[in-house]
Structure 1
Amino acid sequence: MNEIRIEKSASLKPKPDASQLEFGKLFTDHMFLLDYSEELGWHDPRIVPYGPLTLDPASMILHYGQAVFEGLKAFRTSDNRILLFRPNKNAERLNVSNERLSIPEMDEAAFVEYVKALIAIDRDWVPSLEGTSLYIRPFIIATEPCLGVRAAKQYLFAIIMSPVGAYYKEGIHPVKINVENKYVRAVRGGTGFAKTAGNYASSIKAQEEAKHDGFSQVLWLDGKEHAYIEEVGSMNIFFKIGGEIVTPELNGSILAGVTRDSVIGLLKSWGYPVTERKISIEEIRRASEEGKLEEAFGTGTAAVISPVGQLHWEEHTMTINGGETGEIARRLYDTITGIQSGKLADSQGWNVVVE
């Protein structure tokens, strides 16, 4: 790994009130940048003052959408340590996305070191109030100025960071989700398993319509048969049916969530049967009707665990666990957030300390 050049900001911003933080609207004093060219590969790692990027109008990201990103968090413990939660998994997934979008592979160990270096510079931005964290957004965009339809030969890798408040300001609570019937997010052979900008752009319309109808999120069905459950807009999904915990298998159109993987590991260590398989929305409807649908919850970086209190599909409204947070969802939330904050022992070896 090349030595990181550091240019510190001459004017530091005032730190925000941690109790008033919103998601992704305020950014730290510095950002990390790294360039790619065919001649030099990934080169010139540098930390510079946060500010606008300069792009040629013909930059290929603006025309053909070669863009991938990640999302992870840093947490401040009660004894003032800074912890990262499983950053190696984000590094691995970034390369999965890179391969699908024909973007050059990154050194995964270097990725983690770049994240740690930027946090070390802006460590005062990691809030200490319970439930708060520093959200970290690494991303890669194609910067070569060319209108030919092909993979770019120049890229920019960047990391920006934003202090964020507690997802549940008044405590964890269930959400209402609409099962999407009209739009399609992804199909096998497409980019659904990659964390690429286009996946999110294509999901916005359905999300807007769901919110207009009073729902928090959209649950996507498969793009071919429109019958099998895939994922929620920003989360993977789990169900407890007759004592068994099931989640959709990673089939090529579902994002392999870091929190999803963590939840599966914890559940198995606790002795719960967990199955990854195809799950039809009709199976969920029947389980609800027969009183076997005991819990449902989403998993993701932002909320960690998001209990589902109600699912709406066509003319069916399925209320789950009386609309209350289930025992497993609560235990998972308390355990993962406890590990992330350093309150619970990290028996899984998931945390990385930022020195």
Structure 2
Amino acid sequence: PPGTGKTTIARLLAKEAGYEFQQLSAVFSGVADLKKAFEQARMRRAAGQATLLFVDEIHRFNRAQQDGFLPFVEEGIVTLVGATTENPSFELNGALLSRAQVYVLKRLDDEALASLLDKAEVHEGRKLPLEPEAREALVALADGDGRYLLTLAETLLNIGAAKPLSTKELGQILQKRSPAYDKDREEHYNLISALHKSIRGSDPDAALYWLARMLGGGEDPLFIARRLIRAAMEDIGEADPLSLLLANAAKDTYDFLGSPEGDLALAQLVVHLAAAPKSNAVYTAFKAAQRAAKETGSLTPPAHIRNAPTKLMKDLGYGKGYAYDHDVEGGFSGQNYFPDGMERRKFYDPKGEGAEARTKERLDRWAEQRKRQK
């Protein structure tokens, strides 16, 4: 994440190892800048000086440019340290990754941020003009970003407050920071995954939190609505079949009202889905049926359930022996509806939760009846 010390670590590595530190930003640099950096590193090497080349936001270089690093890394012209706020598995070439070691930095916790503030005060030789509660609020406002926290601290030290500021006064001086959220990057997928899995795990409180995080970060509410419809199908299914109708109704409500009123429809749906009984039986059954259809796709329906609109078809036995289930006592004939030459298979196995419990009871009763009719 931003503000966790990536550049600082690279500088410390170079200093400790006695390397020349050279920095490039992939945002502002091109092929010409890379060539110049490599040539300078080659000249230093000839003079007995090693180079640590630090490339910030390395994922901004395209695949071809990333390939350009390989010969210089392999030859030892530079020791490459790349920093990225993205998942390197997605954004960097496999060839480059295979020659590197990946270190994952985490957002700074409150203890680390508080330590940074202490060090800033020692460096400046004075205390921040904050009441204890306001100091905690300042740490919370930084949201794990050490660089941002130090920027805020610098602002407060420069205003020359006559007395310690309260939390309210602090809020009036410092603008609220936008949540760290990039709608087309990894965090986008991490948060929607967290929302979906909180619903699957039947935790409405956590699900509401992730919904609020996404909406607060500027996510498209209709993207969220699409995932909620998917959750209603995949994770709740026949345990509460009305959930799918409610999911579509929430989407239509948001479409009709927009924000902020329509956000409440999504929140109501999130609570309903998280609190609903869960079953993925239809989801797994359909997957199994798809596999079976792929394996046996050339088999034809048995003759007794084929349509017979012509005399020739009737003469061939189409529809012969078909039992019309509505005319059978109990409304269940127990006939075979699988293709000839295919053993009966069981795809749908109800979980027995919510409304699916009644479905399971009926299917078990009909299965016993089929056995008796054999």
TM class by shorter-chain length? under 0.3
Higher helix share: 2
Indicate the structure (1 or 2) with the bigger Cα radius of gyration: 2
Higher strand share: 1
Q: TM-score, normalised by structure 1?
A: 0.22
Q: TM-score, normalised by structure 2?
A: 0.21
Bigger RCO of structures 1 and 2 (CA < 8 A, at least 6 apart): 1
